[in-house]
Amino acid sequence: MELIQRPRRLRRNEAVRRLCRETRVSPDSLIYPIFVDETLSGVRPIESLPGQYHYGLDSVNQAVEACMEHGVGHCILFGLPATKDACGSSAWAEDGVVQRAIRTIKAAWPGFHVITDVCMCEYTDHGHCGILHGREVDNDETLEVLAKTALSHVEAGADMVAPSDMMDGRVAAIRAVLDAHGHTMTPIMSYAAKYASAFYGPFRAAAGSAPAFGDRKGYQMDPHNRKEALKECALDVEEGADILMVKPAMNYLDVIRECADTFELPLCAYSVSGEYAMIKAAAAAGLVDEYRIMCESAVSVFRTGANMLITYYAKELADAMRKGDLG
């Protein structure tokens, strides 16, 4: 048969497949979540996230060292405080768990890039992401405490802050406070399109951040909405965000694609705890090849347009990238 076009020519062997890959990634695009528990000494496995750990302030650098050994130079920090109250005051305390973790990491690994999650859910005794008036989160009152928390992280040495609360105007509030205190060069990674997803369950168990009542549908986005994600991203761009994020990743690839096509800012995707836990569970049951599923899932996120990925598989993916299994 006389065929001029034979696409299989470029699939014939591994060398040509790697040469012609459209999606290329590196360990520099990976961000690893680290959970620091103020009450813990040493390391404790996280039951809801097999293979992940809580670290004490005395052991957090073990997590950083492991990242560096695999070539992962970025983390996002989540804190589990010793005490909680209605307004989450430990979130912005100078000696808070995240603030102390930042100083500990930077003292040992000054070049390691530390991003901090800025939210109130881990610090409030009711588990919601802001200040309550009755059973409702007060948007504007919450902005003040979010800005104070972000400032405290930066003053402790954080390289970047990432507000995840989904309050209206939080990027502008944080940008204004950081700039007023001379931190004009500290970037903000905004959880711009964060959906009210069922995929967060394992994280909430790990972080102790499940709401005591109700849910977060009043401030996180409705999974049915696509155009709203563009609106949220556009607002955050106007308010001074430096990086946009879509969360979760797997079930929102269409949103990642459209946001990547629409906005000029770098785009992050968060492959959340439920995605990770499902792969782990299926692999443990012998139903899937964990390594191949891990790689394919990550490729799908980057192929869709993300520039960076927060993932519990960051270390394993970095190894896979060096082997050429992801490009």
Q: Tell me, what CATH number does 30's domain have?
A: 3.20.20.70
Q: Give the integer Cα–Cα distance in Å for 221 and 98.
A: 27
The residue count of the chain comes to 327
Please, which pLDDT band fits residue 296 given cuts at 50, 70 and 90? very high
Of the candidates 312, 309, 272, the one whose C-alpha atom is nearest the C-alpha of residue 27 is: 309
Q: In the predicted model, is pLDDT for residue 249 greater than 70?
A: yes
Active site residue 194: yes
- Can you give the pLDDT at residue 327? 62
pLDDT in tens, 16-42: 887 788 888 899 999 999 999 999 999
Q: What percent of the chain has pLDDT over 90?
A: 80
Structure tokens at 103: 């100083």
Identify whether 102 is part of a domain: yes
Q: How many domains does the chain have?
A: 1
Supply the range of the domain harboring residue 137. 23-323
Please, which pLDDT band fits residue 268 given cuts at 50, 70 and 90? very high
Please, which pLDDT band fits residue 285 given cuts at 50, 70 and 90? very high
- Can you give the pLDDT at residue 97? 98
pLDDT in tens, 39-63: 999 999 999 999 999 999 999 999 9
From the centroid of its chain, how far is CA 311? Answer: 7
Identify whether 10 is part of a domain: no
Identify whether 271 is part of a domain: yes
- Can you give the pLDDT at residue 13? 86
Check whether the bond before 248 is cis (ω within 30° of 0). yes
- Can you give the pLDDT at residue 176? 97
- pLDDT: which is higher, 206 or 81: 81
pLDDT in tens, 199-215: 998 988 887 777 777 78
Taking the CA atoms of residue 119, residue 207, residue 203 and residue 201 in that order, the dihedral angle to the nearest 10 degrees is -100
Q: Give the integer Cα–Cα distance in Å for 31 and 40.
A: 23
Interior angle at CA 29, CA 243 and CA 106, nearest 5: 80
pLDDT (mean) for 253-282: 97
Identify whether 7 is part of a domain: no
pLDDT (mean) for 288-317: 96
Q: pLDDT averaged over the chain?
A: 94
Identify whether 16 is part of a domain: no
Which 8-state DSSP code applies to residue 195?
B
- pLDDT: which is higher, 211 or 249: 249
Of the candidates 85, 45, 43, 92, the one whose C-alpha atom is nearest the C-alpha of residue 64 is: 43
Interior angle at CA 27, CA 21 and CA 29, nearest 5: 85
Options 84, 106, 148, 194, the catalytic residue: 194
- Can you give the pLDDT at residue 1? 80
Contact, 164 vs 197, CB < 8 A?
no
Options 148, 247, 280, 315, the catalytic residue: 247
Q: What is the pTM of this model?
A: 0.94
Please, which pLDDT band fits residue 319 given cuts at 50, 70 and 90? very high
Identify whether 17 is part of a domain: no
Interior angle at CA 145, CA 142 and CA 147, nearest 5: 105
pLDDT in tens, 181-205: 999 999 999 999 999 999 998 988 8
Active site residue 247: yes
Q: What percent of the chain has pLDDT over 70?
A: 100
Of the candidates 131, 45, 115, 113, the one whose C-alpha atom is nearest the C-alpha of residue 79 is: 115
Identify whether 18 is part of a domain: no
Please, which pLDDT band fits residue 136 given cuts at 50, 70 and 90? confident
The residue whose two tokens read 């439920």 is: 274
Identify whether 6 is part of a domain: no
